Chains A and B, each alone.
Chain A
Amino acid sequence: DTAVSQTPKYLVTQMGNDKSIKCEQNLGHDTMYWYKQDSKKFLKIMFSYNNKELIINETVPNRFSPKSPDKAHLNLHINSLELGDSAVYFCASSQDVGRGNEQFFGPGTRLTVL
């Protein structure tokens, strides 16, 4: 009965490869997010989708492409991986957009680029 799940949990890959991370939520929420947490523990939003539509796209290299096939899923594809992409990537969801909405986070995907 996991609320927000991500796969894989760990990902180790070589520079230049392309990889995907999948996220699913079973909370019936309309809004989903991708965050990156770097080695300094700073959690930064990358993208947000509301009902499958992109509503936030922070300054992220276009090697990162989110895809939302339905409102329960938000996947993240990364092309031409670089060393600086190594981080923990968290998926999250909330009932809706709006300032008061609690966000529920997945367990994170720890990406290491060698």
Chain B
Amino acid sequence: RKEVEQDPGPFNVPEGATVAFNCTYSNSASQSFFWYRQDCRKEPKLLMSVYSSGNEDGRFTAQLNRASQYISLLIRDSKLSDSATYLCVVTPNDYKLSFGAGTTVTVRA
């Protein structure tokens, strides 16, 4: 079983829509969780950390469910510029990040 699993999508949504997707992780000892964003042919960049109580950054909301071992990302009022691949990242130990294969979101005009 992969350490981190994501629905690859693609999620095709119109501008202004809300889109949400999850990621599951296998190691219950994982302590830190992140969403990274990767544009086509570019490097990944941190979008936001995910805290136990859930957190919001503008139009982006992240949630963590430790009991079911998943994290989620919700994007409200989607913009064309939100089109990207969103990588779920989990830290199973102090030394490394485990990346999911990414969920592709395409926002259309």
Contacts and interface: CB of A to CB of B under 8 A. Distances in A.
Interface of A: 35, 40-45, 48, 55-56, 90, 97-100, 102-103, 105-108
B25 interface: no
If over half of B's interface residues share one DSSP class (helix, strand or loop), that class is named, otherwise mixed; here it is strand
Interface in B35-51: 38, 42-46, 49
12 contacts: A41-B102, A45-B98, A55-B95, A90-B44, A97-B95, A99-B31, A99-B32, A99-B91, A100-B91, A102-B46, A105-B43, A107-B43
Chain B interface category by residue count: 20 to 34
List 9 tightest A-B contacts by C-beta distance, closest first: A105-B43, A99-B32, A99-B91, A43-B99, A42-B101, A102-B46, A99-B31, A45-B96, A100-B32
A106 B43 CA distance: 6
A102 B49 CA distance: 9
Nearest to A35: B99
Given A41-B101, A100-B32, 17 more contacts: A35-B99, A41-B38, A41-B102, A42-B99, A43-B44, A44-B99, A45-B96, A45-B98, A48-B96, A56-B95, A90-B44, A99-B93, A100-B49, A102-B34, A103-B97, A105-B43, A105-B44
Contacts of B23: none
Contacts of B44: 43, 90, 105
Interface in B64-109: 85, 87, 91, 93-99, 101-102
Nearest to B101: A42
